[in-house]
Amino acid sequence: MEIKINNIADIRAAARQFVSQMPAGNVFAFYGEMGAGKTTFIKALCQELGVVEEVTSPTFAIVNEYEATATTPPVIYHFDFYRIKKVEEAYDIGFDDYIDSGALCFIEWPEMIEELLPEDATRVDIVVADDGSRTVSF
């Protein structure tokens, strides 16, 4: 599946389309270069899933937890593994417990912990075109 985002004004509609076609499973690994819009897209996804609080990048916290009204269980975990130096750091925060919780897990920079991802994790690629548009594929 591919979703085209021509500009930032299209992001909520793209998130709505993504949510309506989300594959089964609770772990979504977002790949894309720095500045591709991973955090921005995850923010829009969280809003579509009923998160009313501000969604921010968990770059320094590694994981943020949000209450969502349109998910079961009603929580979303948002990870950013950009800063970790070794996979053991993911174990230290209890990564296994998060992904085993059944809650949605949106992961930025999954390449840092790829060996820990469950086999049924959904890979989501965000690619920036020369014109600044994005393509989200999953």
- The structure's pTM equals 0.95
Q: According to the model, what pLDDT value does residue 109 have?
A: 97
Q: Which residue has the higher pLDDT, 60 or 125?
A: 125
Please, what is the average pLDDT of the chain?
Answer: 96
Token pair recorded at residue 136: 């989200």
